Amino acid sequence: MTIVTPVKADFPRPVPALSGRSRVVAFIGSSDNAPMDTLLSGLADALSTPDRRVALVDCPEDIELMGGTDSADFLLVDLPFRPGPFVGSVLAGCDLVIVAGSCKFEYLPEAENIVKSLLYLGIDLEKVTGVVVDSEGILSSESLAGLGSFLESVLGIEMAGAVSLDSGSQPSRDIERLARYIMPRLEPAPAAVFAGAL
């Protein structure tokens, strides 16, 4: 795993093309109650293997790294959501967009607004998913799962699951489940096989 130290950037800067072999996952927190640092570092650990490099990108501070996508197999991008051309171009180049929302109902309108903004920016909701984050450990696993199903119907996006970040072994199990959800969605599509005479 590679952890990137944030570097302050002078803006406006052009958004580099997201090309190369890296698979890019953008995480958008719908509130400050979804601690992205903890979630992303745990997920980077879960996705990392001796043969798979994962880099964390604090966007827009580390925007230079997004152009050099050959340095890692996966880029996990912490993207503050401010709708506009910059965010739209970063999201357009991502393989998967995850909206991380708090388990508290008072933050539901923020998550709804993010999904509406993604539609406005022209982002295909087929590559958007959500995750419920319980940063205080206030809900049981069953309650979090039920909340995920409810949010799926309200937001209109598939939910990847729920992560409880309280102490104990639950966070690592939840993050492992999230990693298992993400991996098949980032696998390259198999090459088409054409039948017929050559």
**137-181 tens-digit pLDDT:** 777 777 777 777 788 888 888 888 888 877 565 667 888 888 998
Task: For the beta carbon of residue 83, count every other beta carbon within 10 angstroms.
Answer: 15
Q: Could you report the per-residue pLDDT of 70-85, keeping only the tens digit for each?
A: 578 888 888 877 777 7
Give the span between the Cα atoms of 79 and 28, in whole angstroms. 5
- Segment (H or E) for 78: strand 74-78
**Residue ranges per domain, the chain?**
19-186
Confidence check: pLDDT of 63 > 70: no
Confidence check: pLDDT of 5 > 50: no
In terms of Cα–Cα distance, which of 129, 179, 165 is closest to 1?
A: 179
CA distances from 167 to 28, 72, 102, 114, 190 (A): 23, 30, 17, 29, 40
3-state class (DSSP) for residue 101: strand
Higher pLDDT, 192 or 85: 85
Average pLDDT, the chain: 74
63: amino acid identity, one letter: I
Task: For the beta carbon of residue 71, count every other beta carbon within 10 angstroms.
Answer: 13
79: amino acid identity, one letter: L
Strands 96-102 and 74-78: unpaired
- Tell me whether the omega of the peptide bond preceding residue 12 falls within 30 degrees of 0, making it cis: yes
Q: Token pair for residue 26?
A: 């953008």
188 half-sphere exposure, CB direction, 13 A CA radius:
7
CATH of 19-186 among 3.40.50.300, 2.60.120.560, 3.90.1300.10, 3.40.50.620: 3.40.50.300
Q: Per-residue confidence at 13, pLDDT binned at 50, 70, 90?
A: very low
pLDDT score at 1: 53
Q: Per-residue confidence at 32, pLDDT binned at 50, 70, 90?
A: low
Question: What's the mean pLDDT in 8-12?
Answer: 39
